[in-house]
Amino acid sequence: MADTDGLLDARTFQPGRPVADAFHVKGAQAQDWGLQNRLSRIFRPDTGRTVMLAFDHGYFVGPMAGLEQLDVNIAPLVPDADAIMMTRGALRTSIPSHSSAGVVLRASGGPSILRELSDEHLALDIEDAVRLNAAALAIQVFIGGEHESRSVANLARLVDAGQRHGVAVLGVTAVGKDMVRDARYFRLATRISAEMGAHVVKTYYVEEGFETVTASCPVPIIVAGGKKLPELDALTMAYRSIQEGAAGVDMGRNIFQSDHPAAMLAAVRAVVHAGAKPEEAYELFREHSAGHAAS
């Protein structure tokens, strides 16, 4: 029998006190609790930003410098990333299941670098994504590419599945060899992805007019690192991206191809979450790398 004797009457009420704070991820205020919760595994509630470590490159280029052995090169970095972006094969084989980083699974694939890259298909079932506790699914969108329409249709199908299960979708702006990388192109590509339902969009930083790309996209923009740059240049790019409205980075080569990946990850975190200036973050990078060399 339930112990109901002596139940205290409710007596503490605070009328007028808001039930909850506004949700911290742009454009996701109207999403369901599960999807918001998954987005919160990617975007830190205290800063609204993310440092996502991308190492999905093998899905079309095979092993590359810095990704020779994922368990050796990447697994040690995972505790310092807010989110990680990789294939399900990489996750299952090489990343410890006790990791707390938000899981962003590559959900498209098909062609290798030997073929037409826009010829992609969906390459992951939502059921497996849920089994792997994915916070988001990533899919390439080839605006202006040979298989543009199919890639947009792939995105739409993935958003349908994501909405059904409360899993977010990251639209990845893929830039073909012949595409002009300017703000006009990125406004077009990012806006199409968001309008088709992507909850987050990844794109590249451009020096002219990047703030118009972030302003015209109704969901958060995160910035890809691109090819390996000197560390100070990569930190400068990350800094400018954030200042001009990006909600974080989805960085791969500029972290895992650095001579000191852990130090670079710490420096990027300082830029994204603490607003460190590029020179300050670079100093942090140098201190961390010196410490690592000495130990």
Q: Which two tokens stand for residue 239?
A: 């800094």
The residue within the footprint of ligand 5RP, chosen from 251, 265, 267, 270 (CB under 6 A), is: 251
User: Nearest approach, Cβ of 17 to ligand 5RP (angstroms)?
Assistant: 42
User: Nearest approach, Cβ of 207 to ligand 5RP (angstroms)?
Assistant: 17
User: Nearest approach, Cβ of 191 to ligand 5RP (angstroms)?
Assistant: 19
Sign of CA dihedral 49, 55, 61, 66: positive
Tell me: does residue 238 bind ligand 5RP (CB under 6 A). Answer: no
Q: Which residue lies nearer to ligand 5RP by CB, 73 or 254?
A: 254
Q: Which two tokens stand for residue 184?
A: 């006009």
Taking each helix axis from N to C end, the angle separating 278-294 and 231-243, rounded to the nearest 10 degrees, works out to 140
Tell me: does residue 85 bind ligand 5RP (CB under 6 A). Answer: yes
Output the CA torsion 210→211→216→222 (10° steps). 70
Tell me: does residue 244 bind ligand 5RP (CB under 6 A). Answer: no
- Residue 138's nearest CA partner among 40, 45, 250, 51 is 250
DSSP label of 121 = E
User: Nearest approach, Cβ of 29 to ligand 5RP (angstroms)?
Assistant: 27
User: Nearest approach, Cβ of 60 to ligand 5RP (angstroms)?
Assistant: 7
Identify the active-site residue in 26, 177, 202, 277. Answer: 202
Taking each helix axis from N to C end, the angle separating 148-165 and 33-40, rounded to the nearest 10 degrees, works out to 110
Residue length of the chain: 295
Tell me: does residue 120 bind ligand 5RP (CB under 6 A). Answer: no
Q: Mark whether 26 is an active-site residue.
A: no
The residue within the footprint of ligand 5RP, chosen from 162, 225, 261, 278 (CB under 6 A), is: 225
Contact 183, 205 (CB under 8 A): no
Q: Which residue lies nearer to ligand 5RP by CB, 36 or 87?
A: 87
Tell me: does residue 110 bind ligand 5RP (CB under 6 A). Answer: no
First to last CA, the chain: 63
Q: Which one of the spans 43-51, 52-60, 125-133, 272-280 is the region binding ligand 5RP (CB under 6 A)? A: 52-60
For 174-202, give one letter per residue: b (16+ CB within 10 A) or e: bbeeebeeebebbbebbbbbbebbbbbbb
DSSP of 160-173, one letter per residue?
HHHHHHT-EEEEEE
Binding mask 171-210 for ligand 5RP (x = CB under 6 A): -x--------------------------------------
3-state secondary structure (DSSP) of residue 52: strand
Q: Which residue lies nearer to ligand 5RP by CB, 28 or 172?
A: 172
CA atoms of 237 and 221, how far apart (whole Å): 14
The residue within the footprint of ligand 5RP, chosen from 42, 44, 51, 56 (CB under 6 A), is: 56
Q: Which residue lies nearer to ligand 5RP by CB, 25 or 251?
A: 251
Binding site for ligand 5RP (CB under 6 A): 54, 56-57, 85, 172, 224-226, 250-254
Active site residues: 202
